[in-house]
Amino acid sequence: MTVKTTPISAPFGVLIAMITLGMGGLFIGTGEFVSMSLLPNLANATQISVPEAGSYISAYALGVVVGAPLIAIAAAKWPKKLLLIALLALFAGGYVFSALAWDRYSLLVARFIGGLPHGAYYGVACLVAAAMVPANKKAQAAGYVMVGLAAANVIGVPVATWLGQLFGWRVTFAFLAGGGLITMGLFWLFLPAVPQDENASIASELSGLKNVQVWLTLLTAALGFGGMFAVYSYITPTLTEVSGFTEQQVPMILSLWGIGMVLGNLVGGWLADRGLIRAIYLIMAWNIVFLALFAVFAESKVGTLITLFLIGGGFALVPALQVRLMNVAGRAQTLAAALNHSAFNISNAIGASLGGMAIAAGYGWASTGWVASMLAIIGILLMMVSMVTDRQSDGIFSDQVNHEQ
C-alpha cells in the first residue's frame, strides 16, 4: 500500500532549495571529474607517470564505494539536513587535504577522503528533494538534484581545469573546498528540516540488504550504466585518433555531452513520474541504440557529435533508478539511495575495464561503443528479471509495481 505524505515546506521555497541541492552536486561532481583533466599535472607534481597517477581516480572511486554504505548506516538516525551539512564538511576537508598534499601517498589518502561523502550526498539529497514535492513528482525532484552532477561537465570541470592550468592544481582543490564551505551555509539557510524518522536505525537500514529487489536494481545500475563509462573513459583518444578532432576541441565536445546529460536528467525525471518502469525500459533501449551507433559513426565528425549528445541524454537513467530504489527499499531508504551511487562508481570501473580489454584485443578505439551497447542490453535483461521476480513474490511490492507502471 502506498503511503501518502504531505510535502515539506522549504524556508524560501522549493525552487531555491532544489538549486542549492544541485549546487552541492555541482561541486562534488566537479571534484570527481576534474582529477581526470588534471591528471598529467598531478602526475608531474608527485613525480609518477600518468598511468600511475590513475590511482588517484581509483582512490576517489574507492572512497565513494566505501563511504556510501558506511555513512548511510552510521548516520541512520541523523536529521537529513544536518547530515547533508556534515557531508559537505567532509567534502571540504578532503579537498583542503588534497590542496595541501605533499607526496603521492598523502594525495592518495586525500582523494579517498574526498570520495567518502559522494554517494551518501547524492542519495540523501535526492531523499530531501523528494520530501519537498508530491509523490508523483519525486523522480523529477531527483533529476533536479542530479542536474548538478551533469552540469559539472558543462560548467564546473572547464572552470576548475582552467584554474588548475593557470594557477596550479592546488588552487583548483582549494577552490572546491571553498565551494563546499559556502554551500554548507546555503544549506543551513535554504533547506527544510526534514522530520527525523523515529523508526530509522542501523538495523532498519541493514534490512535493505535482505531485499532481492534492492540488489537487482543495484546490479542494473552497476552493469547497465557501465556502457556510458566504457565510452567516456577512452573518449579523448577516440575523438583524436578515429574521429579526427584536435585535442583542443575535446573539452568543447565533452561539454556537448554534458548538455545532453543535463537535458537527460530533466526529461528522465519527467518520464519516470509518468510511468517509472516504462521509463527505465525506454531509457535503456535508447542507450543500447545510441551507444552502438557511436561505434558506427565514430569516423564521422558530425555523426560523432550527434551520437555523443544523444548518449549524454541516456544519463536520464540515473534519477529513474534512484526512484526505483526508493520504492523498493522499504525502511532502508538512506542506505539504498546512497548505494545507488556506489553502484554507478562500480559501473565506472566495469565499463573502463571492459572497454580497455576490447581496445587491447585489437578491436580499435571505437569498439567501446559495441561493449557499451552490450552492457546496456545486460542492464535491460536484469531489469526484466527484477520485474518478473517482483510479480512472483508474495505481493509485498505489488501495489508499488502497479503504481510505477
Which has the higher per-residue pLDDT, 78 or 399?
A: 78
Please tell me the predicted confidence (pLDDT) of residue 392: 66
pLDDT tens, 320-347?
888 888 788 777 777 777 787 778 878 8
How many other β-carbons are positioned within 10 Å of the β-carbon of residue 358? 21
- Using the CB atoms, write b or e for 360-395: b if 16+ within 10 Å: eeeeebbbbbbbbbbbbbbbbebbeebbeebeeeee
| Residue 122 near residue 25 (C-beta atoms within 8 A) | yes
R_g (Cα) of the chain, nearest Å: 20
Determine the topology of domain 197-405 in CATH.
Answer: Growth Hormone; Chain: A; (1.20.1250)
Which of the four pLDDT bands, split at 50, 70 and 90, describes residue 69? confident
Which of the four pLDDT bands, split at 50, 70 and 90, describes residue 350? confident
What are the cell numbers at 7? 510535502
pTM comes to 0.78
pLDDT tens, 109-160?
999 999 999 988 988 888 888 888 887 887 788 888 888 887 887 888 888 8
Please state, in angstroms and rounded to a whole number, the distance separating the CA atoms of residues 189 and 71: 24
CATH 1.20.1250.20 spans which residues of the chain? 12-195, 197-405
Please tell me the predicted confidence (pLDDT) of residue 396: 46
The average pLDDT across 48-64 equals 80
| Residue 224 near residue 340 (C-beta atoms within 8 A) | no
Which of the four pLDDT bands, split at 50, 70 and 90, describes residue 281? very high
Please tell me the predicted confidence (pLDDT) of residue 398: 42
Q: Output the average pLDDT for the chain.
A: 84
Closest to 127 (Cα-Cα) out of 279, 403, 338:
338
Q: What is the CATH number of domain 12-195?
A: 1.20.1250.20
Please tell me the predicted confidence (pLDDT) of residue 231: 86
Beta strands (DSSP E) in 80-198 are none
Please tell me the predicted confidence (pLDDT) of residue 201: 62
What are the cell numbers at 323? 526512484
pLDDT tens, 82-122?
999 999 999 999 999 999 999 999 999 999 999 999 988 98
Please state, in angstroms and rounded to a whole number, the distance separating the CA atoms of residues 68 and 339: 6
Task: Check pLDDT > 50 for residue 401.
Answer: no
